Chains A and B, each alone.
Chain A
């Protein structure tokens, strides 16, 4: 077979471009003679780059004339006014949340306004009950109310709220610990503290009784009278028995009588006095039998050297 046997179209079929020709085309170098069409095309396209720039319009014309004010993006330097932190109004809710929060509040107010009288009353009762329950859980209610709420909650739920008796036990425990650590406490100080607590609680006799009963369950005598003698007897068994009083006078004012005791008196005797006196009265001081309990519950510790 010779070349003369080929079809005319096949005879003039161009060979494929090699990589060198492709690179020459894009680099603007001269191409092989048989690629003049491509060469001319490349020159014509590149001629656009040598035309004059079109006249800028609108905003671009203003920018080229006056310069560009850099308001967005990364600033080359930080403004001095912003160097120490954001401005005050930068705090609070993000801007996109502010309208949403305002809309929520206004919608809530509108809905409340649309409620009927009975619904409003029910809502008020529910809110009050929730508030009282929360205060009761925190032990922040007045003594009788606190006890009533505590009992009510204990009856209807598995939860236990603090009562005034709990606070008495805590007071007694603190006094015992102080007596143990300091080898005795001042009877007048304990009496004053007990009086203060009793008066603030505005306790009634029933409340005081419950406080004594609960302390009795903690190991303290439930009878204030025997508790008094136990404190004195216990004090006399300690090395500090020489400082213990031989008898317990009957004071008319627990605070003044406690103050008459020497500071170095054993805890048992001081707290015994306050305990015996207060337990016999119906005054709020009766709730202070907790302090007497603390002394008698741990009498030896107060007199221990």
Chain B
């Protein structure tokens, strides 16, 4: 969701700490950020998104640039947060609580239509599974470009890579994606 011309009014107010302006930025950016964190495999995407926006809002006073630059900046923060979470997760022993088993049910209970929620949950699970099969670098590039709507240069800046490397990664990522999606429809050994 883009703020368009409103951005020129909202940003200065948000930089002064006005709640209404911060909320407008949150409403515009949070869905894509939460989606990015979800498909990157965050344990609690919404909680992590809260941390991302708190960090972004606290540093907003020193930000300069337009809406695209702000979007790129927020996704850079989100990417660093998910990297941190992966490192934390790698250091601790995985524990599955009984509450987590029913997480899908909790998710379903918050939406309007149960059928749509079921389909949505299944689709999200499928997308996440596909993304999991991508190489991490390829997944970062594909998701930042698709969900963050970042350019090659912005993606390169967010990942700390050169633009040429991002271009190569997105190419290989799409090739891998095409192969993975094809295998989902006709798994190996079944076609013939």
Chain A residues with Cβ below 8 Å from B192 are: 8
Bound-state Cα–Cα, A26 to B50, Å: 27
**Which of B54, B61, B130, B143 is close to A60, meaning CB atoms less than 8 Å apart?**
B54
Confirm or deny: B62 has a beta carbon within 8 angstroms of a beta carbon on chain A: yes
Chain B residue numbers with a CB within 8 Å of A56 are 26, 30, 50, 53
Q: Is A25 positioned at the interface, with any CB of B under 8 Å from its CB?
A: yes
| B130 to chain A: closest residue by CB | A41
Inter-chain contacts of B143 with A (CB < 8 A)? 45
Q: How far, in whole Å, are A45 and B34 apart by their CA atoms in the complex? A: 12
- In the assembled complex, the Cα of A156 lies from the Cα of B13 at a distance in Å of 79
For A45, list chain B residues within 8 Å (CB): 35, 39, 127, 143, 146-147
Residue A42 at the B interface, CB < 8 A? yes
A46 touches B147 (CB 8 A): yes
Question: How far, in angstroms, from A24 to B146 measured CA to CA in the complex?
Answer: 11
- By a CB distance below 8 angstroms, the chain A residues around B23 are 64
Q: Is the Cβ of A22 less than 8 Å from the Cβ of B174?
A: yes
Contacts of B36 in A (CB 8 A): 48
Known contacts A26-B170, A48-B38, A57-B46; is-contact A64 B22 (Cβ 8 Å): yes
Q: Which residues of B contact A51 (CB under 8 A)?
A: 31, 34-35
Q: How many residues of A contact B (CB 8 A)?
A: 41
Whether A57 lies near B47 (C-beta < 8 A) is: yes
| B20-40 to A contact mask, C-beta < 8 Å, 1/0 | 001100110011101110110
Q: Give the distance in Å from the alpha carbon of A29 to the alpha carbon of B50 in the complex.
A: 32
Q: Is A89 an interface residue (CB 8 A)?
A: no
Pick from A48, A68, A70, A76: contact of B31, CB under 8 Å: A48
**A58 on the B face (CB < 8 A):** yes
Interchain CB contact under 8 A, A26 and B31: no
Complex partner residue of A44 from B61, B62, B123, CB under 8 angstroms: B123
Q: Is the CB of B17 within 8 A of A37?
A: no
- Name the interface residues of A52-93: CB closer than 8 Å to any CB of B: 52-54, 56-60, 63-70, 72-76
- In the assembled complex, the Cα of A42 lies from the Cα of B39 at a distance in Å of 13
- Check A67–B17 contact: CB distance below 8 A: yes
Contact between A59 and B34, CB atoms less than 8 A apart: no
Distance between A225 CB and nearest chain B CB, rounded to angstroms: 90
Within 8 Å of chain A (Cβ to Cβ): is B19?
Answer: yes
- Report the minimal beta-carbon distance from B178 to chain A, rounded to whole angstroms: 6
- Closest B residue to A55 using CB positions: B46
Report the separation of the CA atoms of residues A35 and B61 in the bound assembly, to the nearest whole angstrom. 44
Instruction: Specify which of B38, B145, B185 is in contact with A37 (CB 8 Å cutoff).
Output: B185
The answer to the question of B59 belonging to the interface, with a C-beta cut-off of 8 Å to chain A, is yes
For A37, list chain B residues within 8 Å (CB): 178, 181-182, 185
| Chain B positions 166 through 188: 1 when the CB is less than 8 Å from some CB of chain A, otherwise 0 | 00001100110110011001000
| A76-B19 contact in complex given A35-B178, A53-B27, A68-B57, C-beta closer than 8 Å | no
Task: Please encode chain A, from 2 to 40, with 1 for each CB lying within 8 Å of some chain B CB and 0 for all others.
Answer: 000000100000101101001001100000000101100
Which residues of A are in contact with B by a Cβ distance under 8 Å? Answer: 8, 14, 16-17, 19, 22, 25-26, 35, 37-38, 41-42, 44-46, 48-54, 56-60, 63-70, 72-76
- Going nearest first, the 3 A-B pairs with the smallest beta carbon separation are A48-B35, A68-B17, A53-B30
